[in-house]
Amino acid sequence: MVEMKQVGTNVIAEDFEHGENFEIGHFNVIHPGCEVGDDVQIRSHVELRPDTTIGDGCYIDSNVRSSGENEIGDDVTLRYGSIIARGCDIRDGCYICPQVMTNNLNHNRNPVGGATVGENCFIGTQTVLGAGIEIVPEVTVGSCSLVTKDITEEGVYVGTPVEKM
């Protein structure tokens, strides 16, 4: 079993690996199996649950939560208060606005995996991404939207549920 240790105000698994130019704030919890790349900044009150991988050049804002087994690509921004459900795959160049929530359970509360968000997507503030959905690259989803089905074409989507504009 991997031990957790106190490092300043943070609690970090002993097997945690990070690249060069890594910056971390205060009161974070980083669980076993997590890795972050080069030039990554993690603000304060962030929790990365087991086996979360974050690529190079990422910015993880305060109060972000990862449920584990997440793949976060290079040059991704996760803004404050976002919740990234177990098994989400957020690809390179994405911008996830504040308070975005993802899910990994279907309507019967069975785990079906987190969302896959393609390269260079923009997900607006307080948007909810349903379990197991896939979003192709180069998509913008407006604020306060609800994505319950795959988005298979580039474009701008808004609403509850989302529709292409």
Question: By percentage, how much of the chain surpasses pLDDT 70?
Answer: 100
Q: Please compute Rg for the chain using Cα positions.
A: 15
Q: What is the pLDDT of residue 74?
A: 98
* pLDDT reading at 83 higher than 90: yes
Distance of CA 57 to the CA centre of its chain: 14
pLDDT digits (tens, 9 = 90+) for 11-51: 999 999 999 999 999 999 999 999 999 999 999 999 999 99
Q: Is the pLDDT of residue 70 over 90?
A: yes
Supply the mean pLDDT for the chain: 97
Tens-place pLDDT, residues 96-128: 999 999 999 988 899 899 999 999 999 999 999
Neighbours of 7 (CB within 10 A): 12
Per-domain boundaries in the chain: 4-151
Q: Which residues of 137-156 are buried (b: 16+ CB within 10 A; e: fewer)?
A: eebbbbeebebeeebeeeee
For the entire predicted model, the pTM comes to 0.96
User: 127 to each of 15, 86, 89, 106, how far by Cα in Å?
Assistant: 33, 17, 16, 17
Say yes or no: domain 4-151 is CATH 3.40.605.10: no
